[in-house]
Chains A and B, each alone.
Chain A
């Protein structure tokens, strides 16, 4: 399936607006940016985390610490998958105890990635709250997990493919949906 067959669900402008709105929602709910830290899940959750921090800085003029996290060591399918995942570097170079921690990923799907991320975060300390921000919620949860901040809800079937592209990594900002029925 080539990129041409995919439906563009969000363009650059839509992504920018969603990030700005989420930034405002985070600030409103947490009464400002002082208590915040942001942790993005590699790869594109980390890109999104950097953008969210930038948006918050644009609104409140506060620099929020941003960390990034590889969740592969905490996956529940390591022993079921013949291919070992590549373990990349986690960098959380600040204290998360007592903070309002915004966990960021690009797409929320089964919830298993978020479960792994939560297990790992608990090993770093005890945040006051952990709140989940995603650009796309595509449904099909397999665990009792929900997002606090959602850029866009996209109804999908289980076998569809949702891809988030960011300019710094993929050349352009867009969210693409490839339908399984067209494959």
Chain B
């Protein structure tokens, strides 16, 4: 019993058993969030460092709370207020932090591959909290967890990701995780915001939102990164909204009992209307609550059985 890995870097290639173990464990942790005292002791004595080189509200608070609820000691580091400003390299920063005897690192960075790089220079367990346009595995897992809680299954569902697929690490983690668990996945967005050779992800690709929504159970609406407009990838916000924005009128094509998701932060009135965001089929706030349970499960499964102590147990 346990994960096949000491780190959570990506959902691409993650075995189905690992995904199911995390989702099942998260189900048990979800209940803790409804208790009067939302704290359990399994990571007592462990120290977790949250290393955030990019701004984040939701993910960072969610990780911090998950750590505290597992009784870990936590330190949060933000690049803006640290020696990174004085020119220290990433490797020096993390090795100095590790010299302070820490057990796990949760890292967000603008460059893909940084979490993997950290596994090469540290003994700590590494959790990827978003690296460049590569992956955001805990977001993928919490989206899948939220879907599974509603439908009691993943296999056979049709999930549509709408928006900026090209720059979205959330989209990638969702695609890999959902496909491993047997969902059929479609993506839809302007051609300029679809990744090069997007078909190789094994998804159905649409540029017409009306067609894309046909027969879909879950629509996951990605944030349109407004800075992309400056880069000339779409002509105007209004055109994006007209062609790809999700409004109530468009929902009719979905399967009954459909679900609306958004990883946040939302641009209301751009990729999603208020009516849809706050409608009865929206699980956007549930995603946030579930995120804590999923992150607790990941931290528990990675950090619960520490490498050194495992070896200690073997020699006994």
Please name all residues of chain B whose beta carbon is closer than 8 Å to the beta carbon of A88 when the two chains form the complex.
28
B41 near A83: Cβ-Cβ < 8 Å: no
Answer yes or no: B304 CB below 8 A from chain A CBs: yes
B300 and A87 contacting across the interface, CB-CB below 8 Å: yes
B25/A87 in contact, CB under 8 A: yes
Residue in B35, B306, B313 whose beta carbon sits within 8 Å of that of A124 in the complex:
B35
Are A123 and B37 in contact (CB-based, < 8 A)?
yes
By beta carbon, the residue of chain A nearest B41 is: A74
**Residue in B closest to A70 when the chains form the complex, CB atoms:** B28
Closest chain B residue to A120, Cβ basis: B40
Nearest Cβ on chain B to A116's Cβ, whole angstroms: 9
Contact yes or no, A74 B40, CB < 8 A? yes
Chain B interface: which size bin? 20 to 34
Residue in A closest to B309 when the chains form the complex, CB atoms: A79
Whether, in the assembled complex, A125 has its beta carbon less than 8 Å from a beta carbon of chain B, the answer is: yes
Query: Once the chains bind, are A84 and B305 in contact (CB under 8 Å)?
Result: yes
Tell yes or no: B166 within 8 A of A by CB.
no
A84–B301 CB distance below 8 A:
yes
Closest CB in chain B relative to A69 CB, distance in Å: 11
The answer to whether A124 touches B28, judged by C-beta atoms less than 8 angstroms apart, is no
- With A78-B42, A124-B35 known to touch, is A87 a contact of B28 (CB < 8 Å)? yes
- Chain B nearest CB from A80 CB (Å) reads 6
**Across-interface contacts of A61 in B (CB, < 8 A):** none
Chain A contact patch, size range: 20 to 34
Give the residues in chain A near B98, CB-CB below 8 Å: none
CB of B27 within 8 A of chain A? yes
- In the bound assembly, the distance between CA atoms of A85 and B24 in angstroms comes to 13
Q: What residues on B are CB-neighbors of A119 within 8 Å?
A: 41
Residues in B1-58 with C-beta less than 8 Å from chain A: 1-2, 25, 27-29, 31-32, 35-37, 39-42, 45
B310 contacts chain A at the CB level, 8 A cutoff:
yes
Contact A123 to B314, CB < 8 A, known contacts A85-B1, A87-B29, A90-B31: no
When A87-B29, A123-B37 are in contact, do A82 and B304 touch as well, CB less than 8 Å? no
Cβ–Cβ contact A81 & B305, under 8 A? yes
Chain A interface helix/strand/loop/mixed:
loop
Bound: A78/B25 CA distance, A? 15
B39 contacts A123, C-beta separation under 8 Å: yes
A91 to chain B: which residues have CB within 8 Å?
31
Contact, CB under 8 Å: A83 / B36: no
How far, in whole Å, are A84 and B36 apart by their CA atoms in the complex?
Answer: 26
Do the beta carbons of B304 and A84 come within 8 Å of each other?
yes
B26 (CB) vs chain A CBs: closest residue = A87
Name A81's closest neighbour in chain B (CB-CB).
B313
In the complex, A170 has a CB within 8 A of chain B: no
A80 touches B309 (CB 8 A): yes
Q: Is the CB of B31 within 8 A of A82?
A: no
Give the shortest distance, in Å, between B65 (CB) and chain A (any CB): 16
List of A residues within 8 angstroms of B32 by Cβ: 90
Contact B305–A83 (Cβ < 8 Å): yes
- Minimum CB–CB distance from B296 to chain A (whole Å) comes to 10
Q: Complex formed: what's the CA distance from A90 to B36 in Å?
A: 14
Determine whether the beta carbon of A82 is less than 8 Å from that of B41. no
> Does A89 sit at the interface, judged by CB under 8 A?
yes
Q: A83 contacts B306, CB within 8 Å? A: no
Cβ-defined partner of A90 (8 Å) among B28, B45, B310, B312: B28
Which residues of the partner chain B approach A123 to less than 8 Å between Cβ atoms? 35-37, 39-40
Q: A73 near B: Cβ within 8 Å? A: yes
Q: How far is the CA of A120 from the CA of B35 in the complex (A)?
A: 11
Chain A residue nearest to B300 (CB atoms) is: A87
The answer to whether A86 has its CB under 8 Å from any CB of chain B is yes
Binding site for A on B (CB under 8 A): 1-2, 25, 27-29, 31-32, 35-37, 39-42, 45, 300-301, 304-306, 309-310, 312-314
- Chosen A-B contacts, 15 in total, with CB atoms closer than 8 Å, are A70-B28, A73-B40, A79-B45, A79-B305, A79-B306, A80-B309, A80-B312, A80-B313, A83-B305, A84-B300, A85-B1, A87-B28, A89-B31, A90-B28, A124-B36
Q: Which 6 A-B pairs have the closest CB atoms?
A: A123-B37, A73-B40, A82-B310, A87-B28, A82-B313, A84-B2
